[in-house]
Structures are given as C-alpha cells and as structure tokens.
Amino acid sequence: MTIPARLPAFAVVVLMSVVGPGRALLAQVPPTDRPTGGIPLTLHEAVAAALDYYPSVRVAEAVGNVAQATLGQARSAWWPEIGLAGSLTQFQEPMIATPIHAFTPGETPAFDETLTQAGGYLSYTLFDGGGRRAGVRTAEAEVSAAAADLGSATQTLVANVTVTYVEILARTQVLAAHDRRIQAFAEELDRVRQLRAVGRAAELEVLRVEAAFASAQSDRVSVESGLGLARRELARLRGASATETERPLIALGLIDDATPVRDALIEQAAVSSTQLGAARGRLNAAQARVSLARSARWPRLEFDGSWVDRGGIDADHSLEWAAGVRVAVPLFTGGRIADGIARAQAQARGADERLRLVLTETEGAVDRLISSIEETGERERSLEIAVARSQEVVRIELLRLETGTGTQTDYLDAEAGLLTVQAALAEASYARIRARVELARVLGALTPSWLEQNLGAER
C-alpha cells in the first residue's frame, strides 16, 4: 500500500491503523512542526507589530528628531538675541553706585555698600561671511539624510519580517516533505517486517529500511530545528511571547509574476532608493560644511545694545542705554581655519565617493535580484515537473517492489529523490518571493502597502 504524497496526516493514521502490525511504528514518526490551531498570523499583522515594537525604527526616529532640533538651532541664528540680566553685589566699603560720566562740582556720584544692576540687552549678527546660511544648509541636509535613514530602517525591518515569514513557510513545506517520507518508510518497514515474519523477506531488507528510516528522522531534526529558530526570530521581531511562536501562517504567492525591466528599475532606484537618498543628504551636508568652514575667514560684524538700571540699596538709581557695533577679523589662528577647511573638503570628497559607491552597489543589487527572480522562476517551473515525475517514479517503484519485480534499493532511492525535489521546489518558490521583496527594498518601495499589492494568500 502506498501513501499519496499530499495525503493529510490524520488519513495516514487511519490507513496505518488498518495495516495492523505496523501501528506501533507510528509512535516513532514525529509530528510535523506546523501549527494546526489558533488564529493565523498574517504577514500584515506581523509587519505592523514589528514596526510598532522593534527598536531599529525607534533609533532612526530619535536620530531624525535630533537632526530636526539641530535645524531649529541653526535657523535661530538669524534672529536677534534678547535677554534680561541683573546682579546684586555687597562690598566691604561703600562703592560708586552709578557710573561717572563727568567730573563736575555738582555731580558727585552716590556711594553704597550694596549695589544693584538690572537691564536688558540685544545682540544681532550683521555679517558672518555666510556662516549662518551654511549652517542652515548643513542642518537641512542632515534632516534629509535622517529621513532617508528612517525610511531605510523601516524598509529593512519590513524586509526582515517578510523574509523570516517566508522562511517559515518554506521550512514548513520541507518539513512536511520529510514527514511524508518518514511515513512512507514506516509503511515500508511494516510491510517488510510482515514478510519477514512469514519467511518471505530477508533480514537485510528489514535492516536496510530501518537504516533509511533512522536517516530520515535525523534529517528531519535539522529542518525542524531551523524552523523553530525562524519562528522564534519572527516572534522576536514583533515583540511576541514564546507562546505565540506556534501560530499558523498563511501561505503567500506573488500577485504580479512578471519579470521586471532592468532599465526602468535602475531609474526608479536613482530617484526613490532610501540608501541613495541618505548618501545624497550626507553629501549636501558635507558640501555645506565646506562653506561653513570658509566663513571663518571673513570678518564678523555684530550689533550690541543694552538698557541698564544701576544703583544701590540706599542710593538713587540711574537708567541709561548703550549701543554699538563690534567687528572681529581673524588675522592669525595657528592654522585652525585652514585645517578646518581642509577637513571639510576631505569629508565632502569622501561623501561624494560614498554616493558613487552606493549607486554602483544599487545597480549591482538590481542586476543580481533580477537574475535571481528569473532563475528561481525557471527553477520552480522545472521542479514542479520534477516533483510530478518523481511522485510517479515512487508509485511505480513501490508497485514493482510489491509485485517482486523491483528492488528495495530502487524504491528507497526514489523516495529520497522525491524529497530532494520537493524541498528544492519549496525553496525555489519562496526564494522568488524573497528576491522580489529585496528588490523592492533596494528600490525604496518596500512598504506595508507594497506587500498588500504584490503578495497574496495562496488559494
């Protein structure tokens, strides 16, 4: 009796219970590590939970907030500084309570041990060689780079969740293939044991199947371990408890299976790639810092004004104002300004080369992913045919074995070949999804809405 490759596990139990002597063998068949109960975890739910929980996005948001606050500081330099100031000073001996503006017989100033002073001041930079403008440009570029970094962190997290979700689906299918193989070996072992009991099979045949059965169980342990690790990783990404790792997932398929066009994708990446956006922002910031460093060579012209009320505890108070212009010209700084300019220019050159590097790597990533999508598509179509043919080979070899015209070795080899192509098909199917997801991330288009538009539940 043969068990169809896609027969549900509960049906296998029923069939094996009919066989009779082989029932105890089912206790050796490990259950498939595929949750069968509970509310399914959708990809959209997993992504939403990860975006709300995982710290990588929070870190990028904090960096963006810092950049935004820095921009506010840079813009504030265009406004005058207005403030209030006051003091209270106690002297050992009486001190002049108000300034002496002239020495005349009738204008002797008052003296007091306790002097007070209160007033307001205004300061405004009239000219700084373009330093304020360069500071604002630098801060604006940093805000742009931080926004691109936030988009990159978000899309990287979406990609990690999706890839892990897909890995679980692929490993679940591979594990199911291992279980079908183990169930087939269990049935074959039951058959040869019955034949051995009536003297129609050699002990070697029993040993051969037992060895294949043990090897299949060993192979299954490795796949099951990887599946458990992937489930825990998905739970960790979305901040779920360990008890939620067993929620069933929904199988996914590509809605639009068309092969993308390279030239159009290269143009799209140049415009929307978050990594390129961050590199451009940092280049703009570095170029603005060169202007900021050069502004230190120019004179700095500032206006200062004040209103001061001076007096003492027992002396009369005098209110007066003062206004003036202050200019500062750097003549010698020990090379500080020149070195600052050289440093800023070196950073700008590095940022420019970094942008070229990111652009080159993006084009290379697009080429590799397009090739991967095409390759996995062709492999999937070929493997679908291979699975169908391998299932037929297994069926024929089992019939030949039962009628005495085939060999047990050929049957066991056919089962091993079927498992190999089934595992390869599962991997190819989901590898194509992973490649499309990674391509969307490289293009800067990987968002929850993209997942909804391009990935759907398989029917």
Structure tokens at 13: 């139990």
Half-sphere exposure for 370 (CA within 13 Å, toward CB): 15
Q: Flag whether pLDDT at 17 surpasses 50.
A: no
The values of phi and psi at residue 121, to 5°, are: -140, 155
Query: The tokens 């001076």 sit on which residue?
Result: 310
**Whole-angstrom distance, CA of residue 37 vs CA of residue 29:** 20
Question: Distances from the Cα of 342 to the Cαs of 279, 291, 356, in angstroms?
Answer: 21, 11, 21
In this predicted structure, what is the pLDDT of residue 195?
Answer: 82
Write down the domain spans for the chain.
37-97+116-327+335-457
Domain 37-97+116-327+335-457 sits in CATH at 1.20.1600.10
- Contacting residues for 23 by C-beta, under 8 A, at least 6 apart: 16, 17
Q: 234: buried, middle or exposed (CB in 10 Å: 19+, 13-18, 0-12)?
A: buried
Residue 25: pLDDT band (50, 70, 90) is very low
Hey, which of 2-6, 11-15, 166-170 has the most confident mean pLDDT?
A: 166-170
In this predicted structure, what is the pLDDT of residue 245?
Answer: 79
- Cβ–Cβ under 8 Å, residues 306 and 322: yes
Q: 47-56, 131-140, 153-162, 202-211: which range is least confident on average? A: 202-211
- Contacting residues for 75 by C-beta, under 8 A, at least 6 apart: 136, 139
Q: Is 37 helix (H, G, I), strand (E, B) or coil?
A: coil
In this predicted structure, what is the pLDDT of residue 73?
Answer: 95
Query: The tokens 């809405």 sit on which residue?
Result: 449
Structure tokens at 204: 């070697």
Q: Is 447 helix (H, G, I), strand (E, B) or coil?
A: coil
Q: Flag whether pLDDT at 30 surpasses 50.
A: no
Residue 5: pLDDT band (50, 70, 90) is very low
Q: Which of 175, 170, 180 is nearest to 249 (CA)?
A: 170
Residue 403: pLDDT band (50, 70, 90) is confident
Q: What does the pLDDT look like over 332-374, one tens digit per residue?
A: 999 999 999 999 999 999 999 999 999 999 999 999 999 999 9
In this predicted structure, what is the pLDDT of residue 32?
Answer: 44
Amino acid at the residue 176: A
- Cβ–Cβ under 8 Å, residues 253 and 456: yes
**Whole-angstrom distance, CA of residue 455 vs CA of residue 433:** 8
Q: Flag whether pLDDT at 208 surpasses 90.
A: no
In this predicted structure, what is the pLDDT of residue 54?
Answer: 94
Q: Flag whether pLDDT at 134 surpasses 70.
A: yes
Residue 29: pLDDT band (50, 70, 90) is very low
Written in H, E and C, the secondary structure of 202-252 is CHHHHHHHHHHHHHHHHHHHHHHHHHHHHHHHHHHHCCCCHHHHHCCECCE
Q: Flag whether pLDDT at 433 surpasses 50.
A: yes
**Whole-angstrom distance, CA of residue 252 vs CA of residue 218:** 29
Q: Flag whether pLDDT at 39 surpasses 70.
A: yes
